[in-house]
Each structure stands twice: as C-alpha cells, then as structure tokens.
C-alpha cells in the first residue's frame, strides 16, 4: 500500500509539473506574439524611412531601400526648424514630467497622511476633474491664454502640468500600498518638518512610482499635438508633433513621404532613451501602484 501511495504521489507530481510546463510554454508563446506585434510597427517605420517618396507611393515592401541618409539630409536641410522642435519638445516634456510627478506626489501625500473634514470631498473632486476631456475646456483655456499673451510661449503647456489628476490618483494608490503612516509619525516624533519628511523620506520610497509616471507624463506631453497646435504659431517655438503635421500638410509639389517618416523616426529616439533609462522601474512600479495594501 505504501508503495502504491508513493507511486500515486509521484504521478500527481509529474502531472502538476507537466501542467506548469504547458502553462509556461503557452505564456511564452503569447508574450512572443505580443512582442512581435509591438515591434512590427517599428520595423515598418524603419523600412519606410529607408525608401524614397516614389517607392512609398508604390506600396509597402519588407526590403529596405537606400534612401535612409538621403531622407535625413533632406529633412535637416529643409525649411522646418527640426532641431528647435526637438529642443522645444524636450523642454516642455521634461518640465511637465517633473512638475506633474512632484506636485501630484505632494497632493497624494496630503490626502494620505492628513485627516481633515473635507478629505473625501477633495479626493472625489479631483477624480471628477480627471473625467473631463481637454477638448471640453480648450476654447476657454485658449481664450484666457490669448488674453494673458501667453501664446507662442511654453508657459501654457508647462504650468497646467502641476495639476495632473491621473498622476495624483496613481501616486495615492501607490502610497496606500507602500507608505505606512507609522513611518511618517516616527519622522514627526524625531522632529522632522513636513517638507523634509516629504522630500527626504517619502520621495525616495516613491522612486518606482515616480519613474513610471515620469515616463507616462513625458510621453504624453511629447506626443501632445492638440494644445501646441492651437497656441504655438511661430515656427521657432513649435514642437515635433506640430512640425510633423506641417510636413504632412505640405502642398503636392513639396510633399515627401520619406521626409515624414524620417521626421517620425527622429522624434521617437528621445522617448526610447527615456524608456531605456527608466525601464527597470516600470514593472515593479505598475504592479505595486495597482494594488492597494
């Protein structure tokens, strides 16, 4: 009987092990397919960047062309201020990422660490603001910026980043997961001021969440076309998405699809660099921020 029991136990273990292996194989196949789908569009972009305007009009092919350098030379020798556009996008996106993550973390800290009467009302109000689309308030916002003469400046694109409800909500959920109130109380007992506690104790604990939201904010503002297109009319202050739209809207004689793809390729390099620098924080930050402790 003991021998039969041991054999049955061994068979059960083999079944469990086999099931785990099958699940791992299926998971790996699915992940490979998803990865291939994600990278396919970068492959298409690279192939199209190497082809001429006439070749692009003829249709897609997986064979690279010989116009990669020519397309970039033609782009940089054109009338559009490409390097200015890159610098403008970097300034705006970096500033928005810094302001959004810092002040959203500060707001989340206030809601998390303090207990006051209208705490739930304030939280609900911020959540309601999060549901309002940018297009709904765009007309009034543009009119106000024109009255203040802030058009053709970066201020109306950077200052509103201080109030970022989506970033605040993520930071609040992350603090609920990883920031015990006992740590804050211990810092207060030791004589640490609120700003010192926030800057030197809370912020270091929030590094993964800050990195994730910095990426999201940077990419969102880097790709933002709607507001810059309405506020920036001078070429020297325009961002890369606006310049790409100008290339695409060129008249028939000047239109060159090869330049457009070269411009798109040029514009995604900084985003890739940001992802590579901060990628190690993404998985851990998203996982912890999505679970309330």
Per residue in 210-249, pLDDT (tens digit) is 888 888 899 999 999 999 999 999 989 999 999 998 887 7
- pLDDT value at position 106? 93
Of residues 176, 172, 174, 195, the one with CA closest to residue 104? 172
* Burial class for 110, CB neighbours closer than 10 Å (0-12, 13-18, 19+): middle
- pLDDT value at position 59? 82
- pLDDT value at position 228? 93
The whole-angstrom distance between residue 244's C-alpha and the CA centroid of its chain comes to: 19
Distance between CA atoms of residues 265 and 275, nearest Å: 16
Query: Taking a C-beta distance cutoff of 8 angstroms, is the pair 82, 75 a contact?
Result: yes
- pLDDT value at position 18? 63
The Cα-based distances of 124 to 67, 106, 177 in angstroms read: 54, 17, 20
- pLDDT value at position 1? 52
Residues (pLDDT < 50) of the chain are 289-293
- pLDDT value at position 11? 60
User: pLDDT, tens digit, for every residue of 104-122?
Assistant: 999 999 998 888 888 889 8
pTM over 0.85: no
- pLDDT value at position 293? 43
């Amino acid at each position: 009987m003991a021998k039969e029991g041991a054999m049955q136990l061994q068979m059960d273990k083999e079944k469990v092990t086999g099931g785990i292996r099958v699940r791992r194989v299926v998971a790996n196949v699915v992940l490979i397919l998803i990865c291939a789908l994600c990278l396919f569009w970068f492959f298409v972009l690279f192939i199209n960047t190497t082809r001429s305007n006439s070749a692009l009009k003829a249709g897609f092919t997986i064979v690279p062309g010989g116009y990669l350098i020519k397309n970039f030379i033609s782009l940089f020798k054109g009338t559009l201020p490409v390097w200015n556009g890159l610098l403008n996008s970097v300034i705006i996106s970096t500033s928005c990422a810094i302001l959004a993550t810092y002040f959203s973390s500060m707001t989340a800290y206030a809601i998390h660490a303090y207990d006051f009467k209208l705490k739930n009302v304030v939280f609900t109000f911020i959540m309601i603001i999060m549901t309002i689309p940018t297009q709904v308030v765009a007309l009034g916002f543009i009119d106000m910026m024109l009255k203040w003469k802030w058009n053709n400046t970066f201020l109306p694109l950077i200052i509103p980043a201080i109030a970022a409800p989506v970033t605040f909500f993520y930071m609040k959920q992350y603090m609920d997961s990883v920031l015990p109130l006992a740590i804050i109380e211990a810092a207060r007992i030791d004589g640490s001021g609120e700003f010192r506690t926030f800057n030197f104790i809370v912020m270091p604990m929030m590094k993964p969440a800050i990195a994730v939201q910095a990426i999201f904010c940077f990419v969102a503002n880097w790709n933002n076309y709607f507001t810059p297109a309405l506020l920036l009319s001078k070429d020297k202050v325009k961002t890369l998405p606006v310049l790409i739209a100008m290339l695409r809207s060129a008249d028939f004689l000047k239109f060159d699809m090869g330049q457009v793809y070269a411009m798109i390729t040029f514009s995604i390099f900084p985003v890739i660099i940001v992802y590579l620098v901060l990628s190690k924080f993404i998985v851990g930050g998203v996982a912890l921020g999505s679970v309330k402790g």
